[in-house]
Amino acid sequence: MNVTLTVNGKSYTRDVEPRTLLVHFLREELLLTGTHVGCDTSQCGACTVHVNGDAVKSCTLLAVQASGMEVTTIEGIGTVADLHALQTGFWEEHGLQCGFCTPGMIMSSAELLRHTPNPTEDQIRHHLEGNLCRCTGYHNIVRAVQHAAGAMQGAGQAADD
């Protein structure tokens, strides 16, 4: 089937198997490997991307279902020269260890900050319940999101920027 979607601001058209998951389309067709495959059961959140602005576990969506939509991956929210506030927060607050869960954590957190610019610790923890981390114990991840929220408010930056 032919699929056309916009990923990180660029339009792509590809012929894909109807059963191709969005996560595999992103990784194998577009070579955007920041979106990770962690569990294949939608439990871990490592594959979280934004579809039309909403955080979605890309292992639960077929590429053909995303046709015509806008997808943002971890590669689309910041650059090495200009990190997103969440990426900086994870760096500054040591919110990662192995880094496998980090892209999904950041994408989920960006959605939270878009809707709740100054979240409490409980709100952050609740929003990240669908994202698993086997290394950090979450304390520094929460601090990273709080750091980003403060930085974004100070800069007048939206979570999608």
Burial of 19 (0-12, 13-18, 19+ CB in 10 A): exposed
- For residue 116, what are its two tokens? 């709740």
CA distance 78 to 115: 19
Instruction: Categorize the per-residue pLDDT at 157 as very low, low, confident or very high, splitting at 50, 70 and 90.
Output: low
Indicate the pTM of the whole model. 0.92
CA atoms within 13 A on the CB side of 129: 4
Fold designation for 2-76:
Ubiquitin-like (UB roll) (3.10.20)
Q: Which helix (H) or strand (E) holds 13?
A: strand 10-15
pLDDT at residue 159 in the model = 60
CB–CB of 27/33 below 8 Å?
yes
CA atoms within 13 A on the CB side of 66: 33
pLDDT, tens only, 37-96:
988 788 999 999 999 999 999 999 999 999 999 999 999 999 889 999 999 999 999 998
Domain ranges of the chain: 2-76, 85-160
pLDDT, tens only, 109-156:
999 999 999 999 999 999 999 899 888 779 999 999 999 999 998 776
CB–CB of 93/109 below 8 Å?
no
Q: What is 85-160's CATH number?
A: 1.10.150.120
Is the torsion defined by CA of 63, 66, 70, 71 positive or negative?
Answer: negative
Q: What is the DSSP string of 49-108?
A: EEETTEEEETTSSBGGGGTT-EEE-GGGS--SSS--HHHHHHHHTT--SS-SSHHHHHHH
